[in-house]
Every structure is written in structure tokens, then in C-alpha cells.
Amino acid sequence: MSSIADNLGSVTRLIQKATLQAGREPGSVSLLAVSKTRSSEELREAVAAGQRAFGENYLQEALDKMFELSDLADIDWHFIGPIQSNKTRQIASAFSWVHSVDRLKVARRLSEQREPGLPPLNICLQVNINNEASKSGCQPEELPGLVSEISQLPGLSLRGLMAIPDPEQAESELRASFRKLANTLNELKQEYPQAGPLDTLSMGMSGDLEMAIAEGATWVRIGTAVFGNRQPKS
């Protein structure tokens, strides 16, 4: 059975190859290791192999890991799950990135609750790119208003967009979903040049990372290909 270090090496090489094939700059795509339901010991193994950015979906589970791994330096914690309003204070304090902001109320709370001594909290707006009833995320037509409002909030850096396209789509439709998100980000950059960096597309997972990179992903969120098949959450 491959080790986490071996898996990280394989995924990193795949990202590098896909980046080159897409004609993009080396290093322009970063690996976010999705570590929900994974143990602190597994994360230690990943850190020992050089991985620093981890994506967590469940707040309390993430806080427990942060405590257990507090002896390790330079771990970059990303929150990628749905956000409940009563959890924003701890998210604002503990994470450096939040990929799943989907409404103004949450952004305002994150802004108000980000401690002044911390650097701005990097945020992505989650877009329900395929209008799925079961998925979180704002509708594409809501983005201009959100960008206009959120870009004025202190303590936040509006980095870009995140989406989880329907994996049941045909390959051509999946690629079109990634392209739609990339085009939407480019339109927002043109319309709101002062809104923030707007340099980030968080899209692509273990089964479709090459396609996502070809369409412009800057973070790919990879769990299974790094850690192996996930055990059910207890």
C-alpha cells in the first residue's frame, strides 16, 4: 500500500504535468490536501513529506487537529465546508483561508470577528455553478452584488471563487462548468478591479484535477488521492 508521502509525490507530479500541458506557469497551481475525517497522525505524515496546506470541513474536528499539531510550524489551514453563522468567530480566528463564503451575512461576521493582529482572512465565494439543490453556494447572478459589498469589508482579502461541480456530469459538461467559473472570475476582475486580488480559482478534486487545471484552477482540493479512501465519519 502506498504511503501518504508516495501519494503526495504522485499527485504533485500529476499537477506539474497538467500545468505544463495547459501552457501555464510552473507553480501556478497549489495542492490543498483535504483532510476531513483524517487523523492528526496522517496529517503529520503529510507535513513530514512537505505538505503544508490542509482543507477542513468540520470546525470542531479541525480545532482538535490544530491543538494536536500545535508543535508543527507553518501549517496553512483552509476551511472548505458549509458555514453556520454561529461558527464564524472560531473560523475567523483559526483559519488563514475560507473557500466557502456564500452570503453577505457570513462575510460580515468573518470581517467583524477577524482579530486585528491577524493578517487579512483570504476568502473565496462559493458558487453553485450547476444550480444543484443539494449544494451550498450562491448563484452566479448574485456575485456582482456580493463582490461589491464584501470588497469593502475590513479584515478580509477577496481572493476568488470556489465551486464543486456535479461529478455526475459528462466530461464535456464538467469541463464547461470549470470554464464557466473561470470566465466568471475574469468578468468580475474586469468589472471590479479594486475588489481584491481575485486571483484564485478553487476547483478540481482527485478525479478531475487535470481538467480543472486546464481550465484555470489555482487550488485543487485533493483528498482520496493523497490519503486513500476515506473512512465514514463517526
Q: How many Å apart are CA 225 and CA 188, to the nearest integer? A: 32
Tens digit of pLDDT per residue, the chain (234 long)? 689 999 999 999 999 999 999 999 999 999 999 999 999 999 999 999 999 999 999 999 999 999 999 999 899 999 999 999 999 999 999 999 999 999 999 999 999 999 999 999 999 999 999 988 878 899 999 999 999 999 999 999 999 999 999 888 999 999 999 999 999 999 999 999 999 899 999 999 999 999 999 999 999 999 999 999 876 655
Q: Which domains does the chain have, with CATH numbers?
A: 4-227 (3.20.20.10)
- Residue 134's pLDDT is what? 78
Could you give the 3-state DSSP secondary structure of residue 168?
coil
- Residue 234's pLDDT is what? 52
* Alpha helices by DSSP H, the chain: 4-21, 40-48, 59-68, 88-94, 104-113, 143-150, 171-191, 209-214, 224-227
Contact present, 66 and 77 (Cβ < 8 Å) = yes
Q: Which of 152, 140, 97 is nearest to 121 (CA)?
A: 97
Q: How many Å apart are CA 67 and CA 188, to the nearest integer? A: 38
Instruction: Tell me if the pTM is above 0.85.
Output: yes
- Residue 136's pLDDT is what? 87
- Residue 158's pLDDT is what? 98
